[in-house]
Amino acid sequence: MTETLWPAGAATGIGSLPGTDPAEALKFVLGELPDLPFLPELPARGAGADIIGRGAALLTELPVEVYAGRWKLTGRPGRDLRVAREFWQRDLDALHEQAAEYDGVIKLQVVGPWTLAASLELPLGGRALRDHGAAREIAESLADGVRRHVADVAARLPRARLLLQVDEPSLPAVLAGRIATDSGLHTYRHVDTSTARVALAEVVAAAGVPVVIHCCAHDVPLALLREAGAAAVAIDLALVTDLDALGETLDAGVALVAGAADPREPAPASAEIAQRVRELWRKLGFPAAQAAERVAVAPSCGLAGATQGAARALLAACRDAARRLLDDANA
* Structural domain contains residue 167: yes
User: 184 and 111 in one domain?
Assistant: yes
What pLDDT, in 10s, does the model give residues 292-330? Answer: 999 999 999 999 999 999 999 999 999 999 999 999 888
* Structural domain contains residue 238: no
Q: Is the pLDDT at 3 greater than 50, yes or no?
A: no
Helices (H), the chain: 22-32, 51-58, 79-99, 113-117, 132-156, 171-176, 193-207, 222-227, 243-251, 270-284, 291-294, 308-330
User: 164 and 124 in one domain?
Assistant: yes
* Range(s) of the domain holding residue 136: 46-230
* Structural domain contains residue 18: yes
Among 135, 132, 115, 140, smallest CA distance to 73 is for: 135
Q: What is the rounded distance in angstroms from the CA atom of residue 20 to the CA atom of residue 31? A: 18
* Structural domain contains residue 235: no
Which is higher by pLDDT, 173 or 289? 173
Give the gyration radius of the chain's Cα atoms. 19
What pLDDT, in 10s, does the model give residues 214-224? Answer: 999 999 999 99
pTM of the model: 0.96
User: What is the arithmetic mean of pLDDT over 283-291?
Assistant: 91
User: 166 and 53 in one domain?
Assistant: yes
User: 264 and 194 in one domain?
Assistant: no
User: 104 and 84 in one domain?
Assistant: yes
User: Whole-angstrom distance between the N-terminal and C-terminal Cα of the chain?
Assistant: 23
Is the separation of the CB atoms in 257 and 214 below 8 Å? yes
* Structural domain contains residue 240: no
User: 111 and 1 in one domain?
Assistant: no
Sorted by sequence, the CB contacts under 8 Å of residue 2 that are 6+ apart come out as 231, 232, 253, 254, 255, 293, 294
Flag the least confident range among 38-42, 84-88, 261-265.
Answer: 261-265
So what's the pLDDT on residue 1?
Answer: 37
Is the separation of the CB atoms in 81 and 63 below 8 Å? yes
Q: Is the pLDDT at 2 greater than 60, yes or no?
A: no
What pLDDT, in 10s, does the model give residues 130-186? Answer: 999 999 999 999 999 999 999 999 999 999 999 999 999 999 999 999 999 988 889
Q: Is the pLDDT at 40 greater than 80, yes or no?
A: yes
What pLDDT, in 10s, does the model give residues 113-126? Answer: 999 999 999 999 99
* Structural domain contains residue 242: no
Q: Is the pLDDT at 4 greater than 50, yes or no?
A: yes
CA distances from 307 to 264, 300, 314 (A): 11, 16, 11
* Structural domain contains residue 273: yes
What pLDDT, in 10s, does the model give residues 202-257? Answer: 999 999 999 999 999 999 999 999 999 999 999 999 999 999 999 999 999 999 99
Q: What is the rounded distance in angstroms from the CA atom of residue 298 to the CA atom of residue 12? A: 5
User: 79 and 35 in one domain?
Assistant: no
Q: What is the rounded distance in angstroms from the CA atom of residue 88 to the CA atom of residue 149? A: 10
User: 62 and 7 in one domain?
Assistant: no
User: 78 and 59 in one domain?
Assistant: yes
Strands in 105-111's sheet, in edge-to-edge order, are: 105-111, 161-167, 211-214, 232-236, 255-261, 295-299
* Structural domain contains residue 239: no
What pLDDT, in 10s, does the model give residues 266-281? Answer: 889 999 999 999 999 9
What pLDDT, in 10s, does the model give residues 17-27? Answer: 999 999 999 99
- Mind giving me the DSSP string for 199-224? HHHHHHHHH-S-EEEE--SSS--HHH
What's the domain count of the chain? 2
User: 187 and 215 in one domain?
Assistant: yes
Is the separation of the CB atoms in 253 and 296 below 8 Å? no
User: 205 and 95 in one domain?
Assistant: yes
User: 78 and 18 in one domain?
Assistant: no
